[in-house]
């Protein structure tokens, strides 16, 4: 596993722990704004994990495909992911 994937795994594990905490907050009828802030924090971690994976993909798979003259398909994949990311 490369460094980008390790960072993504750590971010996802942190997110998982925070989600468990959010569930507890809901079960304990905690203040809605505090819960919302925690949800936003998890979203930020998920975005960072996703960017780590995309960064690694572009620097390895996409780069290799371009060097082999097969980059169009990989570029289209990235464009599709970015389209979903910005929605």
Please tell me the pTM assigned to this model. 0.83
Give the total number of structural domains in the chain.
1
Q: Is the model's pLDDT at 25 over the cut of 90?
A: yes
Alpha-carbon Rg of the chain, whole angstroms? 17
> In CATH, what number is assigned to the domain containing residue 7?
1.20.58.1000
Q: Residue 32: which pLDDT band, with cuts at 50, 70 and 90?
A: very high
Closest CA relative to residue 38, chosen from 7, 49, 8, 30: 30
Q: Is the model's pLDDT at 85 over the cut of 80?
A: no
Q: What pLDDT is attached to residue 33?
A: 97
- Which residue range(s) make up the domain with 73? 3-86
Give the C-alpha separation, 76 to 70, whole Å: 11
Q: What pLDDT is attached to residue 53?
A: 92
Q: What pLDDT is attached to residue 48?
A: 93
What is the rounded average pLDDT for all residues in the chain?
Answer: 93
Give the C-alpha separation, 19 to 46, whole Å: 11
Q: Residue 84: which pLDDT band, with cuts at 50, 70 and 90?
A: confident
Give the C-alpha separation, 63 to 12, whole Å: 26
Q: Residue 62: which pLDDT band, with cuts at 50, 70 and 90?
A: very high
């Amino acid at each position: 596993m490369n460094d980008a994937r390790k960072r993504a795994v750590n971010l996802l594990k942190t997110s998982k722990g925070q989600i468990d905490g959010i569930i507890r907050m809901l079960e304990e009828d905690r203040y809605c704004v505090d819960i919302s802030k925690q949800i936003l924090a998890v979203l930020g971690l998920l975005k960072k994990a996703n960017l780590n994976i995309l960064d690694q993909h572009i620097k390895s798979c996409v780069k290799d495909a371009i060097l082999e003259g097969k980059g169009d398909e990989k570029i289209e994949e990235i464009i599709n992911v970015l389209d979903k990311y910005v929605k």
